[in-house]
Homo-oligomer: A and B are copies of this chain.
Amino acid sequence: MKKNSPTIRDVAAAAGVSVATVSKYINGAQRFSAPVEAKLKVAIEALGYRSNPLARSMITGRTRTIGLTILDISNPHFTNVVKGANRVALRHDYTLLLVDTDENQARERPLIEALAQRVDGLIVSSRMPDEETHWMLDLNKPLVLLRRSETLPIPSVGIDNRLTTYMLARHLLNLGHRQIAYLGFGQAPRINDERIRGARECLEEAGLTLDVYDAHAPTSHAGEHACSRVMLGPRRPQAVICYNDLIALGFMKEAASLGLKLPQDVSVTGIDNVPYGEFASPALTTVDIQSEKMGELAMQKLIDALAGHPDTEHSMFEPRLIVRESTAACG
């Protein structure tokens, strides 16, 4: 168990050539004479030489690493984003430096700034309001945001949030519901506001209003907690549109234990189409927001930018309504 691995100089010595030759050989930069190539092969094999990526990065300025910050890896939406991003990264010989900020806003900036120094580019999912995001431009690294920035010229991928809830509201309207509530997550203001707006617009077209509640967290636990407040309050809804699937799942579980029959007593919808909505009881009606594709595209954009083909646009995926059993005609 010797501690120090051989360097390029050891190889050069062993093969009787110069370090430059070894370097070029390793990087496949050109062709070599048969004898040199043979000696190189032998020496490298014998020494078990592997080039030091740190030293290389110091010079080339590239690490073949992409930084990815997400809010919570436990949320299947982000899990899928990571999955997609990882797949594309691996295909292009990049590795992911992952930071899970754990829904902790205060942490985001220092973590991202530290991360930026160790990677070639970043994919960032943040809860920071646009106004406080200018410093990201000073990172001097290619960046892709996982939601549009209204004010900054940073490429991004996302979903049409307004449309997700518009579609859900329309769906519920079609089923005959009139009393519709939205159970949101106010700490994600931009997304949440857009979603409220979508539902509200749809309902207003029908002359109805939207009751808005807040779950305080994007988790199933928060959904459970909020359920009695929504369902046993003074304005009991016939249908509830939840900020995401996790909240919806928790909501449904708690509703059942409150003695409510689903979906007869209340229709429930989520957003995200996490893989487990279909195993719930009743299976969850939701909107697919293409999480994995978002991860893939974000990574692809970044890699394109790194290759000199930047893309400053915001790419918007189209939401798709997935109707299952948690929504039914209003009794």
Contact of A58 among B50, B54, B118, B253 (CB under 8 A): B54
Contact B102 A87 (CB under 8 A): yes
Interface size range on A against B: 35 or more
A53 is an interface residue with CB less than 8 A from chain B? yes
CB-defined contacts of A249 to chain B, threshold 8 Å: 276, 279
* Stoichiometry, copies per complex: 2
Within the complex, the shortest CB–CB distance from A45 to chain B, in Å, comes to: 14
Q: Which among A98, A111, A275 has the highest number of chain B CB atoms within 10 Å?
A: A98
Per the bound structure, the CA–CA distance linking A293 and B54 in Å amounts to 32
CB-defined contacts of A105 to chain B, threshold 8 Å: none
CB within 8 Å of B: which A49-94 residues:
50, 52-55, 57-58, 63, 65, 73-74, 76, 79-80, 82-83, 86-87, 90
Per the bound structure, the CA–CA distance linking A97 and B98 in Å amounts to 6
Contact B65 A73 (CB under 8 A): no
Q: Please report A residues at the B interface, Cβ cutoff 8 Å.
A: 1-3, 5, 48, 50, 52-55, 57-58, 63, 65, 73-74, 76, 79-80, 82-83, 86-87, 90, 95-100, 102, 111, 113-115, 117-118, 137-138, 140, 220, 249-250, 252-253, 275-276, 278-282
